[in-house]
Structure 1
Amino acid sequence: MSEKKVIVSNVAKEYSNPIAELVQVACQFDSDICLESGDARINAKSIMGIMAFNPSKGMSVNIVANGTDEQEALNAMERFLACQ
């Protein structure tokens, strides 16, 4: 299991449909991917979970991945959330 903390950039401005696109990024990987902030912990591959989580600019998010491609998954999720 690997973790990475990231501050969310302005994903709403950077992407045309940030919620769906974030789920698409997560679904590219075999690893289980969760996003955590405060008491909330959601499955990054769940569009309903992402909608409820609502990652927004300035939010501190901990990305947790567990699986064979967890490092690649962490890096891709970080790039998306930080708009890199």
Structure 2
Amino acid sequence: MISKKIVIKIPTGLEARPVALLVQVASQYESNVYVECEEKKVNAKSIMGMMSLGLPAGEEINVIVDGSDEEVAMENIEKYLCGNK
């Protein structure tokens, strides 16, 4: 299991379209992917869960990835959240 603090650099924050794209990125991997913000922890493969966080640009989140492809998954999720699709 690995975790990393990441600042969201997508200009619009995580609203509908960016959340859908993040869910697509996370869903490519076998690993479990979670996003923590304050006291909330949600499955990054769940559109409804991610939408419930309402994360603005500049927000710092903790991404937790656990599984066989966790390194690659974390790398690509971080690239997406930092605006380096």
Tell me the C-alpha RMSD between the 2 structures: 1.6
- Report Cα offsets for 1:43-77 as digits up to 9, x if no partner: 00000001101232010011100000001111111
Normalization by structure 2: what TM-score?
0.89
* Whole-Å separation in 2 of the counterparts to 1:11 and 1:74: 20
Q: Which residues in structure 2 correspond to 1:1-84 (within 5 Å)? A: 1-12=1-12, 17-84=17-84
Runs of 4+ in 1 over 4 A off after TM superposition: none
- Alignment identity in percent? 35
Shift of 1:11: 4.6
Displacement of 1:9 after TM fit? 0.8
Q: How much does 1:82 deviate?
A: 1.0
Q: Secondary structure at the match of 1:64?
A: strand
Letter in 2 for 1:79: K
Deviation at 1:38, TM superposition (A): 0.8
- Cα distance in 1, alignment partners of residues 10 and 29 from structure 2: 24
Offset of residue 19 of structure 1: 1.2
Please list every run of 5 or more consecutive structure 2 residues that lacks an aligned counterpart in the other structure.
Answer: none
Structure 1 length as normaliser, TM-score? Answer: 0.90
Gaps of 5+ in 1: none
